[in-house]
Structures are given as structure tokens and as C-alpha cells.
Amino acid sequence: MTSKLRCGLIGATGLAGQQFISALQNHPYFKLTALAASPRSAGKSYADALKAPNGMMGWFLTEPLPAEIAKMTVVAGAELTSKDLDLVFSAVEADVARELEPKLAKDLPVISAASAFRYDDDVPLIIPPVNGDHSSLIRAQQKARNIKGFIAPIPNCTTTGLAITLAPLEAAFGVQAVMMTSMQAVSGAGRSPGVAALDIVDNVVPHISKEEHKVEVETKKILGPAGKDHPVRVSSTCTRVAVLEGHTEAAWVSLKKKATVQEVAAAMREWKGLEATRNLPSAPPRWIEVLDDPFRPQPRLDRDVHGGMATSVGRIREDTVLENGVKYVLVSHNTKMGAAKGAVLLAELLRAQGFFGPQTA
């Protein structure tokens, strides 16, 4: 009989950490056995660590807080060790990740939602159906850093939806340039400090710090071969809108080979992604859903398709400005496929590829 892998979670009390708790609830491979947060939360039960000074419970998800998680005692991140764990999920900010993740990776696999190490040459940046074979970089990372574990981050949530839709176009026609404007949900900014209500209500905020750089750099790393950027030119404008969850993106793509609207739609509909991802527990039946309704996709209607793990695409049209141009609108769930559930999916893939394994009773 195979037992579940013992998982730690750093950044457990934040919004991203809560999303990990939800994504890992009743998972067939993984079980949360350690919750880590800031020193001020250490020693408290998880439920008590969530409470705000005014006594309000700081659990922000619509799913209920699991009773067994509420009772767990929170520890400081530095207290996590390989003695008690098989795997660590990281939901901390980049500056904290930069300090904690290398220490944990000496002995443990670290699957991270943070940006701290996304751009290191020996760190793979993986969306499992798109470039799951980039995991080969992990062995080089272990050798270069003389570590038993490794760091494997997921991309920025805005990059995820874009790269997933570009993958079938690259495979079928080649992609030479991309322009994208995002309309991003407020949940992407986290709960604290997040986006102030007076800033976002009745408004569009036309700048998100560092976001455009992340999209432009990460897309090239994901679409290229392992360890080498794709030559695609990427230009993005990232904005924040008054939507709770689900990033909407308008994309213009210059293809290497001219394709009709029907051919582009078919390429997306028929794309199956990396074969090794198709039967993973968190994998949807289809990675991309193409919609014919000209008023779709919409975040409220389409963000939760296949449990928030699919990217919905609509309004596929010819673009007459770009060479061999096409344009479309996508919606991707930023806190599911673009965050915690996407990280859990990556852990499932790396387990299937043999980078770590279950304990056998």
C-alpha cells in the first residue's frame, strides 16, 4: 500500500496559502502535515493564526476551512525539515522565498508560487501541459548547487493563460510575435496589502508593478527548449479591474505560417498538451475550451471551467495589422490554474516523472 507524501506549506496563512490548503484537500498523493507562517503566528492553531486583531476570521475562500487544518499548530518556516517531510509547497512573497526556499531545497523538493528563482538558468519554469519536459533542468540544478532537493516554480498567473493558448499555435504554425493586454482580477494582488477598494471600484488601474516584465520574460522561457529562450517577441500591458477572480487577456499573435480563423480554433480545440499530464489528478479533460459565442469568455461565467484548470478562448479573428495575424480573448483562473492548483499539478507531474516518490508502507 502506498501512503501519501507528507507536505509542508510555507506562507500558510496568506491568501495564496489558503488556496493551497483548498487545492490539497483530499488529494490522492499529498497530505499537508506541516503549516508554516511568520514568527508571530508560530505556536498558534491555524484558526487562531488567521484571526485579525478585531477577532474576524481571516479565511477568505468560499470553501470551508477544513476542521483538521484549523486545529494544526503553525510553525516558523525555519523549523521545517526533511526529517518530517517529503515535499514543500511555497506560497510566500519573493523576498521571503529567496531566503527560505534554498534552505529547504538542500534536502526537499520545493514547488513554489513565488517569483524569486523563476529566471535562474538552472531552474525550470513549468506549465505541465506546455513544457513539462523542462523538468530535465532539475538534475542540472541539483548538480550545480550540490543539493538533494530542488526548486521548481510555476509562472506568473498572467503568463499561464497566455502561454497555454500560444502552445498549440506554436506547434501548428509557429509564433513570431505577441501583443497582450490583460484585465486582471484583484485576487491576483493578494489580500494584504492587496488593492484598496477606493482604488478599484468604478475604476481600471493601468499599471501592475513588475507584471509586464514577468509576462514578457516568462513566456519566452516557457515556449523555448529547456534552458533556452524562444525568439518570440512579446509586448504586454497589464491592468487591474474590478473582478474578484479570473484574468481576462486580449491577445494579438503574429504567426510564422498563415492560418485561417477556423484552423486556429481547431489547433486550440485539438491540443492535448504533454502526454504525461493527461491522467494527473488535477488535469482537466481539456486544457483549452474554445467558445463560439461572441460575448464569451467572461470571467464570471468561464473562470471555473473544469475546476478552474482550463483556459477559455473566444472571439478568434483575423488581424490585418500583424503579419499572419490572429487575435482572441482568453480567461484563465488566476488563483487556481495560475496559482495553487497549478503548483499542485506540477507536483503531480514531477512525482510521475520520478523526481520524488511515495513512501511505501
Does the annotation mark 27 as catalytic?
A: no
Task: Please name every residue paired with 186 in a beta bridge, in sequence order, or none if there are none.
Answer: none
Active-site annotation holder among 134, 247, 306, 333? 247
Does the annotation mark 7 as catalytic?
A: no
DSSP reduced 3-state for 350: helix
Burial 215-242 (b: 16+ CB within 10 A, else e): bbbbbbbbbbeeeeebebebebebebbb
Residue 318 cell numbers, joined: 483575423
Whole-angstrom distance, CA of residue 358 vs CA of residue 361: 9
Whether the ω angle into residue 231 lies within 30 degrees of 0, i.e. cis, is no
CB neighbourhood size of 156 (10 A): 26
Taking a C-beta distance cutoff of 8 angstroms, is the pair 195, 243 a contact? no
Helices (H), the chain: 15-24, 46-50, 67-71, 94-105, 128-131, 137-145, 157-172, 197-200, 211-223, 261-270, 299-302, 340-352
Instruction: Give the long-range contacts of residues 118-124, CB within 8 A, separation 24 or more.
Output: 118/153, 118/155, 118/156, 118/214, 118/218, 118/221, 119/217, 119/221, 121/227, 122/227, 123/151, 123/152, 123/153, 124/152, 124/226
Active-site annotation holder among 7, 134, 157, 333? 157
Residue 310 cell numbers, joined: 482550463
What residues act catalytically? 157, 247
